[in-house]
Amino acid sequence: MTTEETLTLANDLLVNWVWSAESNRPEPNRLDVRLLSSTDLMPMVVGLRVQRLGYLAAITGLDPGPESDEMEVLYHFCAGQAVVTLRVSIPRVGGAVATLSDVIPSAEAYERELSEMFGVAVTGLRKPQHLYLPDDWPDGVYPLLKDADLSALPAAMPAALPNISKE
């Protein structure tokens, strides 16, 4: 399948045919699908798997900052040159997404990272513990949120960081 065929099929499957969603083509090899509801995520992923449209390459959390109420979670599926991105909007505080690890076992690591770095609850995750952050990391501090207050961390944590960037 060429890149164009892959992206057309993905667009037909996700936007025109089964679910109502918005899509655009930011780059020739990319299709961005904006989900209207986060409950569509799981059936859409199953749809992509059934059609063998690529593998889950990464999950990206995207926080626009405290002035917004919402943040986005991006699921990137790659097939050859083609990249299909499913964009799910969730509340910035207390947001949740369903786990994909029942369908795609390799999603577990990305979801644990997403959950500890952005405070997104991933429902159904078998091991919700920290993957990268220390066991004694304080609750409620999510380091990749734009307004994360890292000064609240124990003295051992990177309070020194802002000083480096000023130099």
Partner 1 sequence: MEVENKQQVNRFTVPIGPQHPALKEPGHFLITVEGEIVTDATVRLGYAHRGIERAVEERSWVQSMYILERVCGICSHIHATAYALGVEKLAEVEVPPRAQAIRVLVAEMERIHSHLLWLGVAAHEAGFDTLFMYSWRDRETVMDLLEGLTGNRVNYSANVLGGVKCDVDEAQADAIRQGLEFLEERTHHYLNVVTTDALFLQRTRGVGTMTRTQAELLGATGPTARASGVKRDVRVDAPYAAYDDYPAHMVIETNGDLEARFVVRIKELFESYRIIREVLDTLPPGELTARMPRRVKAGETISRVEAPRGELFYFIKSNGTDQPERIRVRTPTICNMASVVRLAVGHQLADVPMILVGIDPCFSCNDRMVIVEGANAERRSWTWEDLRQYGIEHYHQQSA
In sequence order, the β-bridge partners of residue 30 are 83
CB nearer to partner 1: pick between 21 and 82: 82
Q: Does 27 bind partner 1 (CB under 8 A)?
A: yes
- Give the Cα separation of 20 and 35 in Å (integer): 8
Dig out the tokens for 83 from the structure: 């990249």
CB nearer to partner 1: pick between 20 and 144: 144
- Residue whose structure tokens are 């952005």: 118
CB nearer to partner 1: pick between 39 and 81: 81
CB nearer to partner 1: pick between 20 and 25: 25
Strand arrangement, sheet containing 55-62: 22-24, 30-34, 82-91, 70-79, 55-62
In angstroms and rounded to an integer, the radius of gyration of the C-alpha atoms of the chain is 18
Q: Does 108 bind partner 1 (CB under 8 A)?
A: yes
List helix spans (H) across 34-154. Answer: 41-50, 107-118
Q: Does 163 bind partner 1 (CB under 8 A)?
A: yes
Which distant-in-sequence residues (6+ apart) come within 8 Å of 43 by Cβ? 18, 19
CB nearer to partner 1: pick between 9 and 59: 59
Dig out the tokens for 155 from the structure: 């003295």
Q: Which of 94, 123, 139, 156 binds partner 1 (CB under 8 A)?
A: 156
Hey, how many other C-beta atoms are within 10 angstroms of the C-beta on 153? 15
As measured in angstroms, the least distance from the Cβ of 43 to partner 1 is: 20
- Residue whose structure tokens are 């499913």: 86
Scanning residues 29 to 88, which ones bind partner 1 (CB under 8 A)? 29-30, 55-58, 60-63, 74, 76, 78, 80-81, 83, 85
Which residues of this protein are in contact with partner 1, per CB under 8 A? 26-27, 29-30, 55-58, 60-63, 74, 76, 78, 80-81, 83, 85, 104-106, 108-110, 117, 130-134, 143-144, 146, 148, 154-165, 167
